[in-house]
């Protein structure tokens, strides 16, 4: 049930709004100059994603913490709504093979020892830093300066992982398996809906046993000013996810760009990353402009979109007073997430969301081990930092 209550509207921060609009325009112009229509489309999708993530405070980290610690299921159910809405469109499109003359490719990957460990490490890192991949970007754009440290750790962990991938690739793994390829779009969707529905029912029953009622969503703002209920965020992000598949021809991803940024930095200081097996056949990406990489520019768009949304909401207020403990947790969490994402074929967006909406079983494996890592991360953090976020 959605309740609307009066909210306090802060004034639009006009100087910040001008700066955010200028940043968005610069990103569009930079990709347009590259001559890549898809990069420009990626920026626009990122702007929509960043604004939606910010207004709905839509993150995976806090939702999983709510389920594990507080037995609240609102965030988890919003995640599942996002997945199901996307699957309803992505499964038929992937089964058909393409749309508008573009061949679509799902995120289907094998799942084994390295992917399980990577998802687990990512889950731990989520709770250390208090953010996930998408959360790091939109909260940084919204003014959370601590996320800059998390992002730095993310990039470092990502490039270090690429140096070790020969070993991780050698470990046992199940073959890549797609429900859509094996059974078709309708049976695959039925399985996905039943599985997610069963998990949601269990989470809701647990919440009802503890509180006697489900938490009610409260809308305290407007469409442009926010904040939004989680359901609105799920719908908006489903649109982003579907449009990303259609325009970029692959599911939404985030963390491969972090590895690329790390590779560019390392290459710039003389590290021969292009000789590493992970980058075999990808050396051209290291040499090319970052604005030619659709994942990178979509990430830039997410930051700019959140920046724009925060300025309109009047809530852009960065702080530089960060405790040493919080800084270490942020960097450490970023390192774990960056390293883990490479082992697990991506993050909560690229591997979990992208995998499940592609019908890939590795997305389900990521959910299981990522959540287990998140629970472990909550327990570890509670001992070293009092569990505060």
How far is Cα 376 from Cα 382, in angstroms, rounded to an integer? 10
DSSP state letter for 352: I
Residue 149 lies in a domain: yes
Max CA pair span of the chain: 61
- Of 205, 202, 184, 206, the closest CA to residue 194 belongs to 202
Tens of pLDDT, residue by residue over 200-250, are: 999 999 999 999 999 876 666 677 777 898 999 999 999 999 999 999 999
Residue 64 lies in a domain: yes
- Of 292, 208, 240, 262, the closest CA to residue 32 belongs to 292
Q: What share of the chain has pLDDT > 70, as a percent?
A: 95
The pLDDT, as a whole number, for residue 219 is: 63
Residue 6 lies in a domain: no
Tens of pLDDT, residue by residue over 15-60, are: 999 999 999 999 999 999 887 789 999 999 999 999 999 999 888 9
Residue 1 lies in a domain: no
Beta pairing class for 2-4 and 217-219: parallel
Q: How far apart are the first and last CA of the chain?
A: 28
Binned at pLDDT 50, 70 and 90, residue 325 comes out as confident
Residue 285 lies in a domain: yes
The pLDDT, as a whole number, for residue 389 is: 47
Domain count, the chain: 1
Q: What is the mean pLDDT of residues 359-366?
A: 97
Tens of pLDDT, residue by residue over 337-362, are: 999 999 999 999 999 999 999 999 99
Q: What is the mean pLDDT of residues 307-316?
A: 93
Residue 92 lies in a domain: yes
List the domain range (segments joined by +) for residue 166. 12-213+222-385
Residue 40 lies in a domain: yes
Q: What is the mean pLDDT of residues 284-309?
A: 95
Low-confidence winner among 1-10, 68-77, 297-306 (lowest mean pLDDT): 1-10
The pLDDT, as a whole number, for residue 385 is: 66
Q: Residue 103 pairs with which residues in a beta bridge? A: 98
The pLDDT, as a whole number, for residue 218 is: 65
- Of 113, 53, 67, the closest CA to residue 378 belongs to 67
Q: What is the mean pLDDT of residues 120-145?
A: 94
Residue 7 pLDDT greater than 60, yes or no: no
The pLDDT, as a whole number, for residue 2 is: 39
Cβ atoms within 10 A of the Cβ of 5, count?
8
């Amino acid at each position: 049930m959605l309740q609307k209550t009066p909210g306090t509207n802060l004034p639009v921060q006009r100087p910040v709004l001008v700066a955010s609009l200028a940043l968005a325009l610069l990103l569009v112009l930079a990709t347009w100059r590259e001559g890549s229509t898809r990069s420009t489309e990626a920026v626009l999708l990122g702007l929509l994603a960043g604004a939606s993530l910010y207004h709905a405070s839509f993150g995976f980290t806090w939702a999983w913490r709510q389920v594990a610690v507080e037995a609240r299921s609102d965030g988890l159910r919003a995640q599942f709504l996002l997945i199901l809405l996307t699957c309803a469109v992505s499964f038929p499109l992937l089964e058909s093979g393409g749309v508008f003359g573009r061949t679509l490719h799902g995120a289907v990957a094998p799942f084994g020892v390295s992917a399980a460990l990577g998802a687990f490490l990512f889950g731990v890192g989520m709770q250390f830093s208090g953010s996930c991949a998408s959360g790091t970007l939109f909260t940084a754009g919204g003014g959370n300066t601590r996320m800059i440290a998390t992002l730095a750790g993310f990039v470092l962990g990502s490039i270090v992982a690429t140096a070790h991938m020969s070993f991780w690739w050698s470990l046992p793994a199940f073959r890549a398996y797609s429900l859509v390829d094996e059974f078709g779009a309708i049976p695959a969707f039925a399985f996905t809906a039943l599985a997610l529905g069963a998990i949601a029912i269990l989470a809701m029953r647990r919440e009802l046993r503890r509180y006697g009622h489900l938490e009610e969503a409260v809308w305290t703002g407007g469409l442009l000013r926010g904040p939004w209920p989680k359901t609105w965020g799920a719908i908006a992000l489903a649109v982003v996810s579907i449009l990303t598949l259609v325009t970029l021809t692959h599911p939404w991803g985030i963390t491969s760009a972090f590895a690329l940024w790390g590779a560019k930095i390392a290459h710039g200081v003389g590290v021969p990353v292009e000789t590493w097996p992970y980058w075999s056949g990808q050396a051209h990406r290291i040499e090319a402009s970052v604005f030619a990489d659709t994942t990178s520019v979509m990430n830039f768009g997410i930051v700019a979109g959140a920046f724009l949304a925060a300025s309109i909401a009047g809530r852009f207020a960065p702080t530089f007073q960060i405790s040493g403990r919080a800084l270490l947790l942020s960097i450490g969490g970023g390192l774990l997430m960056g390293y883990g994402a490479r082992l697990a074929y991506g993050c909560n967006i690229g591997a979990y969301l992208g995998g499940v909406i592609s019908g890939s079983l590795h997305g389900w494996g990521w959910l299981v081990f990522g959540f287990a890592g998140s629970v472990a991360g909550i327990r570890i953090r509670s001992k070293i930092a009092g569990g505060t976020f």
